[in-house]
Amino acid sequence: MLANLFGLLMGFALLSRHFEESGVPSRLPDFLPDDWRGGFVLLVMVFVLSSFLDNIAAALIGGTVARTVFRRQGAHRLYRRAGRGGSNAGGSGSVIGDTTTTMMWIDGVSPIDVVHAYIAAGVALVAFGIPAARQQQRHAPIARARSQARGSTGARLLTVAFVLIVAIAVNVAVNLHYPALADRWPFLGAAVWAALLIAAPLRQPDWSVLPATLRGTIFLLALVLVRVHDAGRAPAAPSWMTTLVLGFVSAVFDNIPLTKLALTQGGYDWGMLAYAVGFGGSMIWFGSSAGVAITNLFPEGRSVVAWLRAGWHVTLAYVVGFAALLLTLGWQPHGP
């Protein structure tokens, strides 16, 4: 697990730089709406991308685009939190979209039993995405000057496409055909690095981004490792209220060991749990791997106080999305 997270965080940092240098982010303003809806559409794109690609990559790609299209004053703090929330929400209903849902799949949970997390995730996306997009529009509208857009570099774009295709193919193939091995070997992280090295003769990665990324990566790995060792006691009896609380806990107690505890205990509504521990980690920057990846891109975000002050919409959206799922489908626990 630690090796996989290390490979993903470091590899996707190089991939996001390839994507930034390809020129595609600078051309996106020509296709996005030029009011607050443009910012919201970008969050929806991150949400959808995260559903079939790891949320770390979705968060980094979204952050790279935001840094380019809002280049005058940059992305607002609330919008950066929203981007991380969009990546976590988008992966919550897909067994290949998040580490926690993949853990559930490996443990025998059916993908169908997770997918209804998208009811809560979709409501949450609207609840935090629209306020964030409107705030971003007031702070720095999308820069639409065509004359400033750089021409796209085909080789870099091909590199990005190749790495993403390899990552998706390996992620699906291993979890579909060799689920037991997926929990024991870092296939996804290794696949990303193998694809980057294979494509290196076409375009060399920007290795200079690795030192700064390494610091944030080591922090996350240490955090996960300590919390795995601390997670010796199972949470309270499974219920919708316990699940709601686990979402808040996941913001400070990484969602990977929490998911492992819940799987060991059994008896949860897996879709509700996937939403809670997946999106709940968005409330604080180190609550999930996607948050650490985003702060590698925006180091100024490494402040719990600033994160809570600017991102309270995400916390409110978590509760609203959870309530929507509970009121529509109710609590649907599965046997241990």
pLDDT band at 244 (very low <50, low <70, confident <90, very high): very high
Q: Has residue 247 got a pLDDT over 50?
A: yes
Which residue would you say has higher pLDDT here, 190 or 4? Answer: 190
pLDDT computed for residue 84 by the predictor: 77
pLDDT in tens, 164-217: 888 878 877 776 777 666 667 888 788 889 999 999 888 888 888 888 778 777
What pTM was estimated for this model as a whole? 0.76
Query: Quick one: average pLDDT of 61-69?
Result: 78
Range with lowest mean pLDDT among 12-16, 145-149, 215-219, 312-316: 145-149
pLDDT computed for residue 151 by the predictor: 47
User: Rounded to whole angstroms, how far apart are CA atoms 258 and 235?
Assistant: 9
Report the largest interatomic distance among the alpha carbons of the chain, rounded to a whole angstrom.
60
What's the angle, vertex CA 134, arms to CA 131 and CA 135, rounded to 5?
85
Q: Has residue 318 got a pLDDT over 90?
A: yes
Query: Quick one: average pLDDT of 122-126?
Result: 95
Give percent of the chain with pLDDT exceeding 70: 85
Please report, for residues 35, 97, 126, 189, 283, the alpha-carbon distance to residue 186 in angstroms, rounded to integers and kept in the order given: 42, 16, 34, 6, 27
Distance of CA 67 to the CA centre of its chain: 17
Range with lowest mean pLDDT among 29-43, 122-136, 215-229: 215-229
The token pair that represents 42 in the structure block: 């970008």
Query: Quick one: average pLDDT of 90-109?
Result: 81
pLDDT computed for residue 120 by the predictor: 96
Query: Quick one: average pLDDT of 32-57?
Result: 83
User: Rounded to whole angstroms, how far apart are CA atoms 68 and 190?
Assistant: 29
- Three-state DSSP class for 182? helix
Q: Contact, 242 vs 23, CB < 8 A? A: no
pLDDT band at 126 (very low <50, low <70, confident <90, very high): very high
pLDDT computed for residue 330 by the predictor: 94
Q: Which residues contact 226 (CB under 8 A, 6 or more apart)?
A: none
Mean pLDDT score of the chain, rounded to an integer?
81
pLDDT computed for residue 301 by the predictor: 61
pLDDT band at 300 (very low <50, low <70, confident <90, very high): low
In DSSP notation, 70-131 reads TTTT---HHHHHHHHHHHHHHHTT-TTT-HHHHHHHHTT--GGGTTTHHHHHHHHHHHHHHH
Q: Contact, 263 vs 105, CB < 8 A? A: no
User: Rounded to whole angstroms, how far apart are CA atoms 313 and 146?
Assistant: 33
Query: Quick one: average pLDDT of 26-41?
Result: 81
